[in-house]
């Protein structure tokens, strides 16, 4: 059934583009790395990536993407297959895709549909990728403009439904969202805000009534805070800094925090340091990275994880 859905989506979008004399484009990304893990002195090569067909006009866009992973056996899976239609004031998306709700990068309490605070937080993140998170779901989504900086959106996924409203009065972004999750048999709501005062500040308050949520306790209240800044240091150097924190049920030992510093040079070099701390379970995941963008669509990188299991990854990333 899903294969038939994908084929219908592709044919529909390509037919629309053909009628408007727009040719689809082939795009992709390939990451090849070699990993050294200290546990038992093991080493392992890893190739991940995707290739897809994208195309569209001002009113119709589409993408079909296949992902590649070679652990433990080479596998190919469907990552994206969506079509987006736009009419004045309204945008409709359907197919296999992902929605970004809420404020923040790593710790996003307002992400009610895809749960960016889940138990697999450290494993799902890929900072070397164009997209930090690549997981997707079959969905239908309707976005409606309510003004110059305001909109409403409703979405239906395989196991959940949700809606949100966003506005920016006086330069302060406010977003209210709610969702119901059939998997946890519970409702959840979030109120997020963002403002620029020297740096970007953002905060979220969330209420979750899911009795069997893997992170939040029944009728749990949580809140998240974050700040992001970009500074020009001169001499062709710039520094970006991001700090995020999240706590559930104030007074309980359930907290997460994320911190990063990235120093970039005009010559294409960048040095990065990241730290993800999770008190449930008690763990810290620090990492450091050196990256060189040798060409516009080609970069080389070395990433190190200094704690157990200590690991070093050397590889390259190519886009087309």
Model confidence at 201, in pLDDT bands (50, 70, 90)? very high
For residue 267 the two structure tokens come to 């010559």
Domain residues for 187? Answer: 98-280
For residue range 33-42, list pLDDT tens digits in order: 887 877 666 7
Residue 141 within any structural domain of the chain: yes
Displacement of CA 131 from its chain's centroid (Å): 6
State whether residue 241 is helix, strand or coil.
Answer: strand
Which pLDDT does position 253 carry in this prediction?
Answer: 60
Residue 316 within any structural domain of the chain: no
pLDDT of 211 above 80: no
Q: DSSP labels for 116-157?
A: TTSTTHHHH--TTSSSS----EEEEEEEEEEETTEEEEEEEE
Question: Can you tell me the distance from the alpha carbon of 193 to that of 173, in angstroms, rounded to the nearest whole number?
Answer: 5
Question: Can you tell me the distance from the alpha carbon of 264 to that of 17, in angstroms, rounded to the nearest whole number?
Answer: 39
Burial class (CB in 10 A: 0-12, 13-18, 19+), 167: middle
| DSSP 8-state class, residue 15 | H
Question: Can you tell me the distance from the alpha carbon of 53 to that of 29, in angstroms, rounded to the nearest whole number?
Answer: 12
Place of tokens 């924190």: 245
Residues 6 or more apart whose CB falls under 8 angstroms from that of 95 comprise 5, 6, 9, 80, 81, 82, 83, 138, 139
Residue 129 within any structural domain of the chain: yes
Which pLDDT does position 272 carry in this prediction?
Answer: 96
pLDDT of 121 above 90: no
- The answer to whether 30 and 49 are in contact (CB under 8 A) is yes
Residue 289 within any structural domain of the chain: no
Least confident of 267-271, 278-282, 289-293, 302-306: 278-282
Residue 315 within any structural domain of the chain: no
39-53, 153-167, 214-228, 277-291: range with highest mean pLDDT? 153-167
Which pLDDT does position 57 carry in this prediction?
Answer: 78
Q: For residue 261, which of 277, 246, 239, 278 has the smallest C-alpha distance? A: 239
Residue 200 within any structural domain of the chain: yes
For residue range 24-61, list pLDDT tens digits in order: 677 888 888 887 877 666 777 888 888 888 877 778 88
Question: Can you tell me the distance from the alpha carbon of 13 to that of 52, in angstroms, rounded to the nearest whole number?
Answer: 14
Which pLDDT does position 219 carry in this prediction?
Answer: 57
Residue 62 within any structural domain of the chain: no
For residue 176 the two structure tokens come to 């209210």
Portion of the chain with pLDDT greater than 70, in percent: 85
Q: DSSP labels for 62-105?
A: EEEEEEEE-SSS-EEEEEEEEEEEEETTEEEEEEEE----SS-S
Residue 50 within any structural domain of the chain: no
pLDDT of 69 above 80: yes
Q: DSSP labels for 293-314?
A: EEETTEEEEEEEE-SSSPEEEE
Which pLDDT does position 32 carry in this prediction?
Answer: 84
Which residues face 140 on adjacent strands?
94, 156
For residue 158 the two structure tokens come to 């395989």
User: In total, how many domains does the chain have?
Assistant: 1
As a whole number, the mean pLDDT across the chain is 84
For residue range 90-103, list pLDDT tens digits in order: 999 999 999 999 99
For residue range 238-257, list pLDDT tens digits in order: 999 999 999 887 556 678 99
For residue 69 the two structure tokens come to 């992973």
Model confidence at 1, in pLDDT bands (50, 70, 90)? very low
């Amino acid at each position: 059934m899903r294969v038939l859905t994908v084929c219908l989506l592709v044919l529909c979008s390509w037919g629309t583009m053909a009628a408007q004399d727009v040719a689809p484009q082939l795009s992709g990304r390939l990451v090849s790395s070699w990993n050294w893990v200290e546990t038992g002195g093991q080493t392992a090569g890893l190739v991940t990536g995707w290739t897809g067909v994208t195309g569209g006009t001002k009113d119709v866009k589409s993408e079909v993407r296949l992902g590649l992973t070679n652990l433990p056996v080479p596998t190919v899976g469907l990552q994206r297959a969506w079509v987006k239609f736009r009419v004045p004031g309204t945008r409709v998306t359907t197919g296999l895709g992902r929605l970004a709700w809420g404020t923040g990068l790593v710790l996003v309490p307002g992400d009610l549909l895809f749960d960016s605070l889940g138990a697999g937080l450290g494993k799902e993140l890929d900072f070397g990728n164009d997209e930090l998170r690549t997981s997707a779901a079959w969905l239908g989504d309707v976005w409606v403009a309510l003004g110059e900086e305001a909109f409403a959106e409703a979405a239906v996924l395989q196991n959940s439904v949700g809606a949100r409203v966003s506005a920016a009065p006086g330069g302060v972004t406010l977003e209210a969202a709610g969702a119901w999750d059939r998997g946890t048999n519970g409702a959840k709501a979030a109120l997020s805000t963002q403002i620029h005062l020297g740096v970007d500040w953002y905060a979220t308050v969330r209420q979750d009534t899911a009795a069997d949520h893997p992170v939040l306790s029944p009728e749990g209240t949580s809140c998240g805070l974050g700040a992001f800044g970009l500074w020009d240091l001169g001499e062709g150097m710039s520094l970006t800094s991001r700090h995020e924190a999240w706590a559930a049920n104030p007074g309980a030992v359930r907290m997460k925090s994320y911190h990063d510093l990235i120093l970039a040079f005009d010559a294409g070099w960048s040095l990065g340091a990241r730290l993800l701390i999770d008190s449930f379970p008690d763990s810290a995941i620090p990492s450091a990275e050196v990256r060189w963008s040798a060409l516009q669509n080609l970069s080389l990188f070395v990433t190190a994880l200094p704690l157990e299991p200590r690991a070093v990854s050397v590889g390259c990333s190519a886009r087309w």
